[in-house]
A = this chain, B = another copy of it.
């Protein structure tokens, strides 16, 4: 790995009625993609949801958090969609991977 980067781990439980959530989640993912410093995103949901977005710097994460459209989504999330969530800002210190010879 050439340089440290950052991960935002977002774990959440949705309210029983989470109308329009999927649409907003999708549009936030598209919007995140367009932000400076965005590296990638991985998202999976069963009983709980885990979304991890990767960013070049802490400043990029701060800017994304304060993005106007994202702010609105965060507000609606608290009002309508989430029963609970937790955000962890992490520094990726080391990584390794495996790929099968298909």
A interface, CB within 8 angstroms of B = 7, 9, 11, 15, 42, 44-50, 52, 78, 82-100, 102
Contact = CB atoms under 8 A, between A and B. Distances in A.
B88 A91 contact: no
Contacts of A82: 98, 100
Given A52-B9, A52-B50, A82-B98, A44 B45 contact: yes
B87 A90 contact: no
Contact of A93 (B48, B50, B84, B91): B91
Point out which of A44, A48, A87, A102 has the most chain B C-beta atoms below 10 A from its C-beta: A44
Contact of A83 (B42, B44, B45, B100): B100
Nearest to A12: B98
Contact of A87 (B47, B95, B102): B95
B87 A89 contact: no
A77 to B, nearest CB: 8
A49 B83 CA distance: 23
